[in-house]
Amino acid sequence: MARRQKSAPPEDYTEKIIDIDVETEMEESFLEYAYSVIYSRALPDARDGLKPVQRRILYMMTDMGLRPDRGHVKSARVVGEVMGKLHPHGDTAIYDAMVRMAQDFSLRLPLIDGHGNFGSLDDGPAAARYTEARLAAPALSMTDHLDEDVVDFVPNYDNQLTQPEVLPAAFPNLLVNGASGIAVGMATNMAPHNLGEIVAAARHLIEHPDAPLEDLMRIVPGPDLPSGGKIVGLGGVRDAYATGRGSFRTRATVAVEQLSARRTGLVVTELPYTVGPEKVIEKIKDAVTAKKLQGVSDIVDLSDRTHGLRLVIELKNGFNPHAVLDQLYRFTPMEDSFGINNVALVDGQPRTLGLVELLQVYLTHRILVVRRRTSYRLRRRRNRLHLVEGLLIAIVDIDEVIQIIRSSDESSAARARLRSIYDLSEVQADYILELRLRQLTKYSRIELEKEQEQLLREISELEAVLGSEERLRAVVSDELAELSAKFATPRRTVLLESEAAAPVRNQLPVAGRAVKAALPLEVPDDPCWVLLSASGQLARTADREPLGEGQRVKHDAFTSVLASTARGEVGAVTSAGRMIRLQVVDMPALPPTSGTPNLAGGVPSSEFITLERGERLVGLAALDSVLALGTTQGVVKRVQPEYPLNRDDWEIIALKPKDSVVGIAAATDEDELVFVTRLAQLLRFPAGSVRAQGRLAGGMTGIKLPAGDTVLHFGAISAGDDRAVVVTVTGAVAAADTSGASLGSAKVTDLGEFPLKGRATAGVRAHRFLRGEEALSLAWAGHGPARAAAANGVARALPTEHGRRDGSGVPLSQRIDAVGPGLLGLVGSGGVGAGGVGAGRVGSGSTQHDGAAPAQDLQDGQGTLL
């Protein structure tokens, strides 16, 4: 390869070497670079809240005419215009700034209307060649009146074009949309705020220039983040508003929901600012893998465009949802910290500003903008008035004016003659010379006089605004109010003074106690009641406080009331003679109550038990007590509690063909057993006469049935219970008159009216049928008071008077589908009806009935029962 020859220097060349200190050169160069980054790139101007690249994007889009009422254009076109004319840097930086101004999760009031994929909190945007953009409506208020000399224009990078030094900014953009940026040796991080609150604070400061920070904080209590969520602890917010520096914690918005009968979940609908769902999911999985987070079984992202963010965190059974939520706050970004550092440029210098200073800088700028705009408009109107006055002078003697112009050899001579004859200025004379003849008509004179009057009024108003500082500030305040009414939206972020004031929506009770810090992670094994309503609702209480009579509620006629613990087990007995093991912790917990538990918070028992065709749920039973059961064919059996430990489903009686279990009850030798048949026969005999058998035995004869009769109800009564009652209800029959069908009749009788007899006898009559009645449809015997309900759980009333043993019932005006025990006097570890069954149709489905008022001879549906 040939070596390049150095050419000789010219003859007049003089070598001059300057020694420069490297340290000094580095310091000066670095300072120049740092100043360039601070002033020209990273920090926003406190007046319009924009960095240079953002300001240039908005100005160029305005210059291109990309208004909200026009079509979108390719983002690459905007980026190219900005880069080629105003911002000589990479297209990536320009597009990134443009994308952020279009993201509603980054800015509280987006300035660009984007069309296409502008990214999310977890993913970046599509390339500029794919997306489209135009100005959003609020951006117009940022650039309005640029053509009215409201701000100074400076040369662009090559001195061929000009650009605004700052935008007019009709609203405090820096406070509304916040800002973030890293310069050399400093950074800014400002939180978004609510437009309505910021405008109200600015107007208050206009009216009261010396207003203290406390007054402004009553109007602006804290940031309003685009993603909503909660801000916990406002001490750091106060520090930031006072000094410009502070921090606060943001939390996700979470609701505890019953995802299914057995599963509880935490549903996240709002996340902290700048935190995306994929980041949360990843951190939760990492924490579960590292065994830092316990109780989470699954997490599903159900977010969509229609319903927004919905992150479902499914919990394992037996874990306290509030304790798991505390772990999520600790180990995942569901709780995040936001550091406020209000650094912005003021007169070209970076300053740290509090809330009052930020509003004062903005208002000073806005007042100057309105003053310059008013001065510009005043000049324009004065100039126009000067021309109109000259025209009016010329129109008075229009013929002579035309003659002067026609007789002049050149325009300069005509101008001079007009000025000398009519005392016109040079501007007026030139304007007359340029007019067309059709503008010098009589009609034109009328218009000119009207225009003159209008101009005089406007000039007077503009002079009054410029002559009064108070009126000038009032104009600024009114314009802010108009903009707020147009663009302000309700607050999204909830502000909480402390963590103690941060409840979880739909909060579930924790063993009847208030939710506090350091909650046990797993649900404690506290005593509770397990409840099964006659309408098929299943639930547990938060504690085992005595359950008493209260205002009647839906589903308050109970089939079973069992004493258990939150982490215990109970058995569900079906009509096919099967017993199914159920975990109490899987059942939804009801809020604590001093009266009747509201099972509207329960779930259908079909969510826990799968029944075969024709099979129904009879009731619940404790797994550690001797269980008595009766069948439709009159068989009685007492079962020893010797159930398999390794199975969740087993048989407890060997049934004969076409036989089925009709009732169950926990019964000791001292208790009494009661059969009630469809033909209204009742048999009461000692439980001790039935020996306990193994679970595969077939039982023995309990009641002797005549042909065509079957057992309707079976239950157990404590011996000597003087509050025990028997409820019998007949079914619907044809009425004797033509008014329609009757709903049957109901009767309540003291159990003491029926004699104690021996097992395998026929019993005695319990209900005398009225004309047209043939059989009972419902029956129940147990500790009073009794309750009745419709199939959908709506309360129904029973007769108030106790009838004779063999008496007839009181006609019904409402259908009764279930009867069960009341809860008055239910204390201790046992309970009335524990393991017993109320007559009714318990199962997965129910027939809907309305809640019509009962007959006059019955109690009202919300009154006191027996």
Strands (E), 641-690: 649-651, 661-666, 672-677, 681-686
d(CA 548, CA 821): 12
Q: What's the pLDDT at 31?
A: 65
Domains of the chain: 50-168 (3.90.199.10), 365-487 (1.10.268.10), 614-821 (2.120.10.90)
Q: How many CB atoms within 10 Å of residue 760?
A: 15
Burial 620-656 (b: 16+ CB within 10 A, else e): bbbeebbbbbbbbbbbbbbbebebeeeeeeeebbebe
What is the structure's pLDDT at 508? Answer: 46
pLDDT recorded at residue 471: 95
Query: Are the C-beta atoms of residues 758 and 739 closer than 8 Å to each other?
Result: no
The Cα 643–Cα 665 span in angstroms is 17
| Token reading at 844 | 């997965």
| Rounded mean pLDDT for each run of 10 residues along the chain, 866 residues in total | 66 80 75 64 89 94 94 96 91 94 94 94 92 95 93 92 94 94 82 96 95 94 94 92 94 89 87 93 92 89 87 87 89 92 90 95 96 96 92 83 84 87 88 77 76 94 93 95 95 82 50 47 82 86 75 80 88 93 84 74 81 90 91 94 88 92 92 94 93 91 92 90 88 50 82 91 91 88 84 84 85 86 50 40 33 33 30
The pTM of this model reads 0.72
The token pair at 238 is 């106060």
Query: Rounded to whole angstroms, how far apart are CA atoms 573 and 836?
Result: 11
Write out the two tokens for 287.
């924490």
**Encoded tokens for 381:** 């109107």
pLDDT confidence of residue 42:
80
21-39 pLDDT, tens digit per residue, is 788 778 776 666 666 666 6
Q: Which residue has the tokens 């033509």?
A: 738
Q: Which residues are catalytic?
A: 130
CA gap 655, 576 in Å, rounded: 8
513-523 pLDDT, tens per residue? 344 445 667 77
**Side chain identity, residue 562:** L
Alpha-carbon torsion 287, 293, 296, 301, what sign? negative
Listed residue (719, 852, 864) closest to 798, CA to CA: 864
Give the residue among 508, 511, 557 at the shortest CA–CA distance from 729.
557
Q: Which residues pair with 733 in a beta bridge?
A: 742
What six digits make up the tokens of 727? 């409820």
Contacts of 660 (CB under 8 A, 6+ apart): 575, 576, 577, 631, 632
pLDDT of residue 723: 84
DSSP for 175-232, please give it: HHH-EEEE-SS-EEEE----HHHHHHHHHHHHH-TT--HHHHHHH--S---TT--EEE
Separation between Cα atoms, residue 540 and residue 588, nearest integer Å: 6
Q: Strand 649-651: give its sheet, edge to edge.
A: 617-621, 569-574, 578-583, 649-651
Three-state DSSP at 438 gives: helix
Q: 758 with 685: CB under 8 angstroms?
A: yes
Q: Are the C-beta atoms of residues 758 and 720 closer than 8 Å to each other?
A: no
Q: Is 819 helix (H, G, I), strand (E, B) or coil?
A: strand
Q: Residue 838 and residue 789: Cα distance in Å, rounded?
A: 11
Distance CA 231, CA 258 (A): 26
Partnered with residue 308 across adjacent β-strands are 304
Gyration radius of the chain over CA positions: 44
